[in-house]
Amino acid sequence: MKRKRSTDIRRKFERRDRVARRIIALGGYGVIISIAAILFFLFYQSLPLSFGAKIKEWFSWTPGDRSDQILLVGVDQYQEVVYFLDQHGEVEFLRMKDRHILLRDSLPLEPGEKIFSADRGSLLRDVFAAGTDKGRILIGEIHLQPRFEGSVRRIVPSLSVEQTFQAETPGDSLPAHIEKVSFRRTEDGLELLAWVNHAGHLFLRIYDPEEETTYRYDLSEQLGNLPITTLTMNYSGETLIVASEQGDLFWFDLLDPEEVVLVDHWRASGVAITAVSYLLGNNAIVVGDAQGEVSEWFPTKNPLQKTKFTLIRRFKPHRNPVTLIAASPRNRNFLTVDSKGEAHLNYATTDATQLEFLPSDYPLQAVAFAPKSNGIVAADSRHRLGVFRLDNPHPETTLHTLFGKVWYEGYQKPAFVWQSTGGSDEFEPKLSLVPLIFGTFKGTLYAMFFSVPLAILAAIYVSQFAPQWMSRIVKPIVEILAAFPSVVIGFLAGLYFAPLFEKHLVQFLIFSVALPVVFLVGVVIWKQIPEETRTRFPRGVELGFVLLVVLAAFSVADLLAFPVRETFFAGDLKQWLYTHWGVVYDQRNSLVVGFALGFAVIPIIFTIAEDALSNVPKSLSSAALALGASRWQTVRRVVLPAAAGGIFAGVMLGFGRAIGETMIVLMATGNTPILDLSPFNGFRAMSACIAVEIPEAPVGGTLYRVLFLTALLLFLFTFIVNTLASLVGDKLRKKYARF
């Protein structure tokens, strides 16, 4: 009986032991899981950046057997209702989910009158102008108004015709065909119409609602009677671009409606230009020609300060002439379509052709992006409508835009730029990680320049030359310093040292020169002390000596500062730097960061290097000393080589800490993402950039993922550095374990 109870107890304990074992093992594996989870999560969040675009046709419709040309298509923002306008002026609204025609309406055309050309006047609204074969132009707007009744959403379509007028036909009494029309209505209500008639005349008509004035121009003569193929204006109504059959482009400036001028014309292609379109942002145009070439142009300043349209990049060419170009209302996406109906989805900033697809077996007559840029509507010559769902969450990033030079709109040449958010919806995100990586390494480098020599020298002194009592005090102090909150160091750097450096820049420069000089002089004086006296000095007296040296160097700097500044730098070093070297001095600059970051890193390097140095077996140094080597020789030839691995590990760990340090770089630099090695300006480091921008980044958006990618890079940098450090440390331990 008793026996049984004891086995029961035994069993209970064993069961507990097993449970404990499992829980404890879980704790152990938990560590691996944590780091793996972090790595995995960073990957998982940044990977979608490389997924590219997907397109799927999810709706198509053929309204019986009709073959009249479709001139305009569109869809509402929820992609519930599509509309199209055909050449007889019929507008039909179709609800897609039940293929029900919601509304049929038509433009007030005369019997037999046909629309030849139509153009959408805005990227955000469905205003349009249509030009007919009777020489009339009609302006109208299509509304797709969402109405909410409880939780049910209904799209209410309507068509309103606002204006019709007879186009001018100077010197020609017959009404002329309107071959091609371009129409814009800006947000301020400015209305611009440009059209070409069958005789090749180019007319422009600008209505200014503020002045209630209409300006009319006949621009034909300025074109030198070249046959016009197509024309476009930008959505802010500032420029008119006209393309010719010879491949010329004409650029008219419409900024002043009272004086429209031809700014420039140039040959953009060897063959006829068949399609031109402005992109979102109203700056860049996309040009497609008869050979299927697609290129992007925008104005840049040449060295003579003359603004000219410049060929920025070419996209993947079509095999047939380009017929249509549609720009996305949300980003720099645009769709080019050729005469065989093949479509390319391009993204302007990345010069990538994201998709090539065939929306229809027949040539397309009209295409348009959905208002949220998440769909495409296309109509072909057989009157078939196709609606495509476009899944393209991160068009802005490719490997090239993240790490290469990109020619952004408004820039004079390709550049590495980080500028993630801008003032308007038309902003072109610039997401090059290069300035951030550069900034991180710039700060780290300056910090290492400052901290490595100091930390290693101090470690050598404490471990080899200092008296016992001193190392007993110094080591805990430094250890505590390693735990010093970086936010305190950062705040001191930003609010105290940055202004101090700025004010006493000359003193600091002189001091950095004076210190070695005074030190050498001091050594010479030191040597004058008789040998016997010197050997009788207690250990640690060196610190007293260097105190004098530093004080002397300080006074020298202070004394010389004024005369040096007046004689060499014309009274103001900052001004002098700017006029002679073109260097701008920022208050929060790399020197300040180097100092502050170095201060944060010194304890790490010192602690590890000191450990490595004092762990060098005593037998080694004793042997060297016994063989007659001097103290320094022993250190230089025996101790340092033996501890080199440990010192290296310390430097690496310090490096790792400097790379990832956030608060100091955030507070002590101006956080401007520039590529400039000058010590007198700031930078933006990856860590600070994450800290500043992630709270504002929409979850799952491109910026959000790019910042995760930045974090992943940081993780990998430090991972490599730390692994390297621990490998070297292990090797070292093995090497000297035998002594």
Q: Interaction with another protein in 479-538: which residues (CB under 8 A)?
A: 479-481, 483-492, 494-496, 519, 522-523, 526-527, 531, 534-535
Residue with tokens 């050594």: 523
Q: How many other CB atoms sit within 10 Å of the CB of residue 727?
A: 13
Cα 733 from Cα 739, distance rounded (Å): 11
Of the candidates 199, 255, 525, 543, which one interacts with another protein according to CB under 8 A?
Answer: 543
Of the candidates 55, 75, 325, 455, which one interacts with another protein according to CB under 8 A?
Answer: 455
* Element counts in the chain: helices (H) and strands (E): 17, 30
Q: How near is the Cβ of 63 to another protein at its closest, in Å? A: 35
Q: How near is the Cβ of 528 to another protein at its closest, in Å? A: 12
By the rule CB under 8 A, 54 interacts with another protein: no
Cα 103 from Cα 298, distance rounded (Å): 41
Residue with Cβ nearer another protein (10 or 56):
10
Q: How near is the Cβ of 491 to another protein at its closest, in Å? A: 5
Of the candidates 6, 7, 8, 37, which one interacts with another protein according to CB under 8 A?
Answer: 37
DSSP assignment letter at 322: E
Q: How many residues are listed for the chain in this entry? A: 739
Q: How far is CA 83 from CA 88, 94, 271, 334, 490, in A?
A: 15, 6, 34, 20, 59
Of the candidates 41, 51, 58, 449, which one interacts with another protein according to CB under 8 A?
Answer: 41
Q: How many other CB atoms sit within 10 Å of the CB of residue 228?
A: 22
Residue with Cβ nearer another protein (480 or 517):
480
Q: How near is the Cβ of 29 to another protein at its closest, in Å? A: 8
What token pair was written down for 650?
A: 């310390």
Letter string b/e over residues 628-656, b meaning 16 or more CB atoms within 10 A of that residue's CB: ebeeeebbeebbbebbebbbbbbbbbbbb
Give the three-class secondary structure for 541.
Answer: helix
By the rule CB under 8 A, 466 interacts with another protein: yes
Of the candidates 223, 285, 456, 498, which one interacts with another protein according to CB under 8 A?
Answer: 456
Residue with Cβ nearer another protein (266 or 715):
715
Taking phi over 0 as left and psi of -120 to 50 as alpha, with beta for the rest, 168 belongs to beta
Cα 274 from Cα 290, distance rounded (Å): 6
Cα 406 from Cα 415, distance rounded (Å): 5
Of the candidates 209, 414, 467, 571, which one interacts with another protein according to CB under 8 A?
Answer: 571
Residue with Cβ nearer another protein (357 or 519):
519
Of the candidates 78, 568, 719, 739, which one interacts with another protein according to CB under 8 A?
Answer: 719
Rounded (10°) angle between helices 590-614 and 434-460: 40
Cα 732 from Cα 724, distance rounded (Å): 12
Residue with Cβ nearer another protein (159 or 709):
709
Restricting to residues 632-661, name those near another protein by CB under 8 A: 632-633, 635-636, 653, 656-657, 659-661
Restricting to residues 116-175, name those near another protein by CB under 8 A: 150-151
DSSP assignment letter at 694: G
String of DSSP letters for 576-625: HIIIII-----SS-HHHHHHHHHHHHHHHHHHHHHHHHHTS-HHHHHHHH
Residue with Cβ nearer another protein (63 or 522):
522
Of the candidates 271, 454, 560, 620, which one interacts with another protein according to CB under 8 A?
Answer: 454
By the rule CB under 8 A, 576 interacts with another protein: no
Residue with Cβ nearer another protein (256 or 479):
479
Residue with Cβ nearer another protein (326 or 689):
689
Choose the binding region for another protein from 256-264, 287-295, 419-427, 626-634 (rule: CB under 8 A): 626-634
Of the candidates 52, 694, 728, 736, which one interacts with another protein according to CB under 8 A?
Answer: 694
Residue with Cβ nearer another protein (10 or 618):
10
End-to-end CA distance of the chain: 60
Choose the binding region for another protein from 47-55, 211-219, 242-250, 707-715 (rule: CB under 8 A): 707-715
Of the candidates 1, 2, 4, 27, which one interacts with another protein according to CB under 8 A?
Answer: 27
Q: What are residue 556's phi and psi, to 5 degrees? A: -60, -45
Residue with Cβ nearer another protein (101 or 727):
727
Cα 242 from Cα 254, distance rounded (Å): 13
Per-residue x/- mask for another protein, residues 406 to 445, rule CB under 8 A?
A: ----------------------------------------
Cα 499 from Cα 591, distance rounded (Å): 12
What token pair was written down for 671?
A: 């956080």
Residue with Cβ nearer another protein (58 or 78):
78
Number of residues binding to another protein, judged by CB under 8 A: 112
Q: What are residue 704's phi and psi, to 5 degrees? A: -55, -45
Choose the binding region for another protein from 16-24, 108-116, 178-186, 427-435 (rule: CB under 8 A): 16-24
Q: How near is the Cβ of 395 to another protein at its closest, in Å? A: 22
Rounded (10°) angle between helices 640-660 and 434-460: 140
Residue with Cβ nearer another protein (582 or 695):
695
Q: Let me know: does 654 contact 448? Beta carbons within 8 Å.
A: yes
Cα 428 from Cα 396, distance rounded (Å): 9
Residues paired with 337 in a beta bridge: 324, 343
Cα 19 from Cα 154, distance rounded (Å): 61
Per-residue x/- mask for another protein, residues 366 to 405, rule CB under 8 A?
A: ----------------------------------------
Of the candidates 107, 118, 325, 462, which one interacts with another protein according to CB under 8 A?
Answer: 462
Of the candidates 662, 678, 681, 702, which one interacts with another protein according to CB under 8 A?
Answer: 662
What token pair was written down for 232?
A: 């476009």
Choose the binding region for another protein from 128-136, 277-285, 373-381, 547-555 (rule: CB under 8 A): 547-555
Residue with Cβ nearer another protein (101 or 548):
548
Residue with Cβ nearer another protein (263 or 482):
482
Q: How near is the Cβ of 68 to another protein at its closest, in Å? A: 42
Of the candidates 262, 271, 550, 552, which one interacts with another protein according to CB under 8 A?
Answer: 550
Radius of gyration of the chain (CA): 37
Residue with Cβ nearer another protein (263 or 550):
550
Q: How near is the Cβ of 555 to another protein at its closest, in Å? A: 15
Residue with tokens 């590219």: 52
Choose the binding region for another protein from 102-110, 233-241, 281-289, 458-466 (rule: CB under 8 A): 458-466
Residue with tokens 């152990």: 28
Burial label, 545 (beta-carbon count in 10 A; 0-12, 13-18, 19+): middle
Nearest CA to 703 out of 714, 713, 689 is that of 689
Cα 202 from Cα 271, distance rounded (Å): 21
Per-residue x/- mask for another protein, residues 581 to 620, rule CB under 8 A?
A: ------------------x--x---x--------------
Residue with tokens 């790595």: 39
Residue with Cβ nearer another protein (124 or 488):
488
Of the candidates 562, 568, 581, 739, which one interacts with another protein according to CB under 8 A?
Answer: 562
